[in-house]
Structure 1
Amino acid sequence: MWYTGKTRNRNGVTIIIDGNLKDEVVEIKRKSDRIILVKLMIDDEAFNIIRTYAPQIGLEESTKNAFWDDLEEIVQGVPLGEKLFIGADLNSHVGSTNEGFERVHGGYGYGVRNEGGESILDFAVAYDLILANTFFKKRESHLVTFSNGPNKSQIDFVLTRNVDKAVCKDCKVIPDECLVSQYKLIVVDVGVKRRKQKHRSNKCIKTRWWNLNGGKMALFKDKMLQGDPWKVEGEPNMIWDEMASRIRNTAREVLGESRGRGPLTKETWW
């Protein structure tokens, strides 16, 4: 689980992934209390998962504008060749019809579009995204993401690139699975073809080079500089072997290892 937020009872967003995928995580970005990105490498393909929580209606326009500026900045930082999925509580309504936004809205939304919904659709058009949960015809209970008594609305969305529309096999609300009575869980099914790989007959042990960032990068540097390691004397091959061994041992100590049946080769994402 990765979390961003100053306090636990206000704002804050979280991304939780399956434990089997934790070693595939190569980057975390926390843009604000309301936006977090987790990047995974699956085979040779990058998947960027963004979780967002937009300001509620009634907050100052400056707060809303700052949110959209931050979201645009983090989306712009994702290369076009990488997969992008945004799970967003956007606190606005895009409506049941897609008039004027046929490319990004599938025509199976809920409710009446408001000004905030226009901003969502404009954002999707600007970055060639689609609102996945508007592209599947569902009954009302599988569209409504928030209900409070007689009031019902669709304010949570899953956005992805238009070019990846085909990988979204289904998207719907699970009405009986919720954290509190008002909010409903929204699920998107994504189909990805995994490249077949040959595996070792024994367990593969890999240094977690993808952890070389932030504080661990500084610790790695400090440990490498201890004892004047660059002043080794002798034959070039002997010097190289000693230095390479020191680098590998230090990396295993600072970054750790991942164990399990792994592919013969795995390119590290930098």
Structure 2
Amino acid sequence: MLRLMNSIPQDENIHLGADLNGHVGEKDEKFERWHGSFGYGNQNQDGKRILEFSASCDLAIINTFFKKKDTHLITYESGRNSTQIDYSLTRRKHLGRYKDSKVIPGEALTSQHKLLLSVYKLPKPLKICRYVTPKLKWQKLYDPCGESLVKELAEKIRSLDVTCSTANKTWNEFERFCRKSAERSLGRMKPRKGPFKETSW
């Protein structure tokens, strides 16, 4: 496991969530860089091994860094026994990216285990700068320039030879002519500057 962790590039974020079956205890001053001193219960030998592994990989135990009531720390209940054996771990340098970590009381994954939730801050969505083609000034159709455009299109229609071409080819040719003529006669609006907002949904 240690070899696998060391093979992951240091700039990649790691989030480990598992039933590690050990008790790290309420706090441990020796491992305070990786243990946030807000754990639950007493430490045992397996919990010490978890802390040693965290220290060797520089992993913070996320759910020990947020002060919570016992009901939000206990991850396992069976009869009268209540313990904390499920943990979330991340690189110590990335700990600040987490907003919260707690157990959801009553939401059980199995009959004994509780659901442990860690809240991660997602980066803000990037604003995309897109080029938007300025629209043609179709409102100028009723101006003198619009009248000349209509005459030009009428002459083009009369000159079309539909006998030597397919309907699609004739239409595509006429469409290109319409766009070029309209842009030359009517002009385009000023280009809009981005970035543009996405739709809310």
- How far off is 1:180 after superposition? 2.3
Q: Which residue of 2 aligns with 1:154?
A: 84
Label 1:88 to 1:179 Cα distance change in 2 as closer, same or farther (>3 A).
closer
Match 1:182 to one of 98, 108, 112? 112
Ranges of 4+ aligned residues in structure 1 off by more than 6 Å: none
CA distance in structure 2 between the aligned counterparts of 1:179 and 1:89, rounded to whole angstroms: 12
Q: Which residue of 2 aligns with 1:112?
A: 42
Partner AA of 1:188 in structure 2: S
Match 2:55 to one of 121, 125, 150? 125
- How far off is 1:175 after superposition? 1.3
Say whether residues 1:198 and 2:128 are aligned partners: yes
1:95-151: CA deviations, max 9, x gaps?
001221110000000111011111100111111110000000100110000000100
Q: Which residue of 2 aligns with 1:91?
A: 21
Partner AA of 1:169 in structure 2: K
Tell me, which stretches of 5 or more residues in structure 1 are unaligned? 1-70, 202-270
SS at structure 2 position matched to 1:100: helix
Once the two structures are superposed, the pairs formed by residues 161-240 of structure 1 within 5 Å of their partners are 161-198=91-128
Higher relative contact order (CA 8 A, sep 6+): 2
Relative to the length of structure 2, the TM-score reads: 0.62
CA distance in structure 1 between the aligned counterparts of 2:109 and 2:45, rounded to whole angstroms: 28
Tell me, which stretches of 5 or more residues in structure 2 are unaligned? 132-201
SS at structure 2 position matched to 1:141: helix
CA distance in structure 1 between the aligned counterparts of 2:125 and 2:71, rounded to whole angstroms: 37
- Output the aligned Cα RMSD: 1.6
Partner AA of 1:145 in structure 2: T
SS at structure 1 position matched to 2:3: helix
CA distance in structure 2 between the aligned counterparts of 1:112 and 1:96, rounded to whole angstroms: 6
SS at structure 1 position matched to 2:48: helix
Percent identity (aligned): 43
CA distance in structure 1 between the aligned counterparts of 2:3 and 2:129, rounded to whole angstroms: 39
SS at structure 1 position matched to 2:31: coil
- Which structure is higher in strand share? 1
CA distance in structure 2 between the aligned counterparts of 1:181 and 1:128, rounded to whole angstroms: 33
CA distance in structure 1 between the aligned counterparts of 2:91 and 2:43, rounded to whole angstroms: 22
- How far off is 1:193 after superposition? 1.4
1:65-111: CA deviations, max 9, x gaps?
xxxxxx22221221001111100210000000122111000000011
SS at structure 1 position matched to 2:106: coil
Partner AA of 1:96 in structure 2: E
Q: Which residue of 2 aligns with 1:79?
A: 9
- The aligned length equals 131
CA distance in structure 2 between the aligned counterparts of 1:101 and 1:187, rounded to whole angstroms: 23
CA distance in structure 2 between the aligned counterparts of 1:145 and 1:82, rounded to whole angstroms: 28
- Which structure is higher in helix share? 2
SS at structure 1 position matched to 2:27: coil
SS at structure 2 position matched to 1:116: helix
Q: Which residue of 1 aligns with 2:144?
A: none
CA distance in structure 1 between the aligned counterparts of 2:69 and 2:20, rounded to whole angstroms: 21
CA distance in structure 2 between the aligned counterparts of 1:85 and 1:77, rounded to whole angstroms: 15
